Structure 1
């Protein structure tokens, strides 16, 4: 699957997901009182958002046809082309 998360969408997923997961963990530990089930849901959703931001791929975006990379270089093999010509 090609990358379809980029730009502001990626920043939101990384920061928002981390914050959501941390608040959920704080609630599970007892620092915030919102209940166990909402806290567990926050942790799971936070990790999902964060993970999709890291790998830059989202299944829901793919099904909806959304691509927020805006022409960014999506795949790189890490290899560069080497010229076989000798300089004159």
Structure 2
């Protein structure tokens, strides 16, 4: 069951893409920030699926109730 609202998904998608881009750009320049790509990818995946696994144990949801 989806537990992420539209705003949550949009913010995660943008932040995830920024982390991925930043990690790839700075990896080329300094060779140290490759680890930014993994959390960025996880944010993009959770945004596209609409489910945040961290919300499940706490029964949280940012999705609007209809």
**CA displacement at 1:29 relative to structure 2:** 1.5
C-alpha separation in 1, matches of 2:17 and 2:42: 10
**CA displacement at 1:64 relative to structure 2:** 2.0
Q: What TM-score comes out, normalization by structure 1 length?
A: 0.67
Q: What TM-score comes out, normalization by structure 2 length?
A: 0.87
What do you get for the CA RMSD once the two structures are aligned? Answer: 1.4
Secondary structure of 2:51 counterpart: coil
Question: Which moved further from structure 2: 63-72 or 12-21?
Answer: 63-72
Find the counterpart in structure 2 of residue 3 from structure 1: 2
Q: 5+ unaligned residues in a row in structure 1: which ranges?
A: 73-88
Q: 5+ unaligned residues in a row in structure 2: which ranges?
A: none
| Structure showing the higher helix proportion among its residues | 2
Q: 1:50 aligns with which of 36, 44, 58?
A: 44
Structure with greater contact order relative to length (CA < 8 Å, sep ≥ 6): 2
**CA displacement at 1:71 relative to structure 2:** 2.2
